[in-house]
Amino acid sequence: MLFDFLTGRLELPIERPWARFSAFESGQAMLGIGHEPITYAPGRRTGVPADAGFFAIAFEPEPLDRSLSELARRAIPHSIPYAFSISYRDETGTFALDERAGPGARRRRWTLVSLGVLLGDDDSARMLSRWPRRGDGIGARPLGSVLGHLGSGRLGGALVARLGSSRPFCFLCEFHSFDVAQSRVVAGEELARRGGGPLGLVRTREIVVSALDLDDQIGRWEQLLGPPSAPGHWQLGDGPAITLVEGREDRIRTVVWEVESLGRAADRLRAEGWLGDESDGAVAIAADPLQGIDIRVAGT
């Protein structure tokens, strides 16, 4: 399992332990940002391919209400705000800060808003521009609360699995049950205590997105993020950069992790049989242990 490789073999701190919910199974590992492998629960019909790879990018709004107003002002299609709440078993050795939900359990509450203008998804852009899924439409907040409540429970699991995007997408996510900045600090301190794990990991440096029509996609991302710091490149505060490159399809192509020493990381990858190709001052982790996703490591 990918989650076990990230947290067991590479020693990324566990921000939320692996758990099964009504529509899916997931856990969250931290490397500056959350890495959340997701598997739809057995028996749930979904349009998401089994080999979907990197499937979504979550942006943290500060705060969500202000972001929603700005999305409307910029005429960016977006969904109603879905308000979710799930409970999971707390486990030792993890660094979850969610609110307590009884003995040995925690509760995570968050609001999710899908964006329909990125990654070449014109179908979603049109759908999110019409009621009832239009985020700035009449009754968007109460409808999102109702559907989020249903989606959080057993009866709504099948609905979430079926109605979820069948192609890569981006979304806003505001957490209500814990402090995200504090969580990053706690997980970062733990990663440092572990010496960055066997690869000497430091942080997530960059997310590379490929675009079939690069100029068009740069314009769409600029509509959301503002002018790039370099052509097709945005540095988002102290988080990872986003870089757009020309490709054969619109998708999230690569994630780049920063390591203390590229030589040390490459030696360890070689010794474990995890070494992939080398290019542009970075080394790829072999595809097999990562279940086909493309992660590269680069020196500081």
Distance CA 264, CA 40 (A): 36
What band does 42 get if pLDDT is binned at 50, 70 and 90? low
pLDDT tens readout for residues 179-217: 999 999 999 999 999 999 999 999 999 999 999 999 999
Residues 179 and 198 in one domain: no
Return d(Cα 151, Cα 148) in angstroms, integer: 5
**Residue pair 7/14 in contact by the 8 Å Cβ criterion:** yes
Angle 205-26-31 from CA coordinates, rounded to 5°: 20
| DSSP state letters, 170-210 | EEEEEESSS-HHHHHHHHHHHHHHTTTGGGTEEEEEEEEEE
Give the global pTM: 0.94
Asked if residue 168 and residue 203 are part of one domain, the reply reads no
Residues 97 and 203 in one domain: no
User: Do the Cβ atoms of 29 and 35 come closer than 8 Å?
Assistant: yes
Considering the domain architecture, whether residues 93 and 216 belong to the same structural domain is answered as no
More confident residue, 54 or 23: 54
Host domain of residue 91: 2-184
Cis peptide preceding 13, ω within 30 of 0: no
Q: Do 7 and 148 reside in the same domain of the chain?
A: yes
Residues 74-126 pLDDT 10s: 999 999 999 999 999 999 999 999 999 999 999 999 999 999 989 988 888 89
**Pair (251, 295) in one structural domain:** yes
Alpha helices in the chain (DSSP H): 2-4, 64-73, 122-127, 140-152, 157-163, 180-193, 214-225, 262-272
Same domain, 275 and 129: no
- Clarify whether residues 137 and 239 are in a common domain: no
Q: What are phi and psi of 105, to 5 degrees?
A: -140, 155
